[in-house]
Amino acid sequence: MKLESQFIGQSGAFLDAVERASRAAAMNRPVLVIGERGTGKELIAERLHRLSSRWDEPLVTMNCAALPETLIEAELFGHEAGAFTGATKSRAGRFEEADRGTLFLDELGTLSMGAQERLLRAVEYGEVTRLGASRPIRVDVRIVAATNDDLPALAASGEFRADLLDRLSFEVITLPPLRVREGDIGVLAEYFGRRMAAELDWERWPGFAPHVMEALEDHPWPGNVRELRNVVERAVYRWAADDMPIAHVQFDPFDSPWRPRPPEHRRSGAPSASPSGGANGVAAPSPAAANFDTIEDLRAAVDAHERAILAHALGKHRWNQRQTARALGLTYDQLRHCIRKHALMEGQD
């Protein structure tokens, strides 16, 4: 991922996508960028622009999903005064603003069929016509579009124009999700953690406790790099101490024993389980995610799960053993026994 003009990552799948973008940048052709949310599609679009011959011309961005269908065409192509209710004066569209530069269309799959038809003409003939105008305007715009939709499937079902897809897919760059970028989670977590520590004026970077790094590596990251950045920065700022490794991380910022119940639970009066995963508000690693078919040693598996729960709780309570014991429903002596059993001394973890 790119921050301040640099990409962070070392996995082959990620570097291949960046290299393909670098090679396509020099070509004055449309490019489609495909990927899940948070994978950095807008950053690849910026790279395509900055490495092209258009680098010193405008890079204009439009999120096609952020506008109602009735306004998308006016936003893209502009309008004349009186073209519709509320159009009190003429306005240039995004195509005109991006003339000689690059137009980045995010969430392309949400465009209406009418907007797709006008976009097709703009791509094919290099002309746009403002709403309410009779004469087209010549524009020189390179299109970079992004989506997390399966455009070929949408085209096959008639929800996206196949001829427009043909025009836009000179090159297609598909970004890998974070969960398959081998080795990149630790690299990114370290980068975001150090950067947040510097923002907080910490004198040193203590790093992450081993069990936290293990949790980061095991998380599926549905929000990809954007989610990882939020999780890591939140963990660092909440830890607020540079004299010991960060030993607690919260993936869901809404997770709380006081989280409001859904309306249907209030209406039915049905009890809801604490989203934090325990009666005392300590979120324990869920065994539901485990692959039980791979367990060959039950005692070792139980011990590993118990150790993960202890490490998580100790980190959450900043190694305050009495608070941790209360949160887990143990006596102080029982907790001390568990710590010795699993070698969870503060200096080690």
Could you list the mean pLDDT of each consecutive 10-residue stretch along the chain, which spans 349 residues?
65 95 96 96 96 96 87 87 78 93 96 91 91 90 96 96 96 96 96 96 94 93 96 94 90 87 61 42 45 69 79 74 80 80 63
Q: Provide the token pair at 82.
A: 């009186």
**pTM given for the model:** 0.74
CB 173 within 8 A of CB 24: yes
Report the first-to-last Cα separation within the chain, whole angstroms: 29
CA 204 to chain centre: 28
Q: Please state the domain extents for the chain.
A: 2-176, 182-239, 284-341
Please tell us whether the domain made up of 2-176 is placed in CATH 3.40.50.300. yes
- Domain spanning 284-341, CATH architecture: Orthogonal Bundle (1.10)
Question: What is the rounded distance in angstroms from the CA atom of residue 195 to the CA atom of residue 95?
Answer: 37
| Residue closest to 199 by CA, chosen among 227, 224, 234, 223 | 234
CATH of the domain spanning 182-239:
1.10.8.60
In terms of Cβ atoms closer than 10 Å to its own Cβ (0-12, 13-18, 19+), residue 80 is middle
Question: What is the rounded distance in angstroms from the CA atom of residue 79 to the CA atom of residue 82?
Answer: 8
Question: What is the rounded distance in angstroms from the CA atom of residue 166 to the CA atom of residue 32?
Answer: 11
> For tokens 């948070």, what's the residue?
38
DSSP 329: T
Burial 268-293 (b: 16+ CB within 10 A, else e): eeeeeebebbbeeebbbbeeeeeeee
Question: What is the rounded distance in angstroms from the CA atom of residue 218 to the CA atom of residue 305?
Answer: 14
Question: What is the rounded distance in angstroms from the CA atom of residue 345 to the CA atom of residue 210?
Answer: 12
Question: What is the rounded distance in angstroms from the CA atom of residue 161 to the CA atom of residue 123?
Answer: 13
Measured from the Cβ of residue 330, the count of other Cβ atoms closer than 10 Å reads 17
Q: Provide the token pair at 194.
A: 């150090």
Helix or strand run (H / E) with residue 271 = none
Q: Provide the token pair at 132.
A: 């309410």
| Neighbouring-strand partners of residue 142 | 102
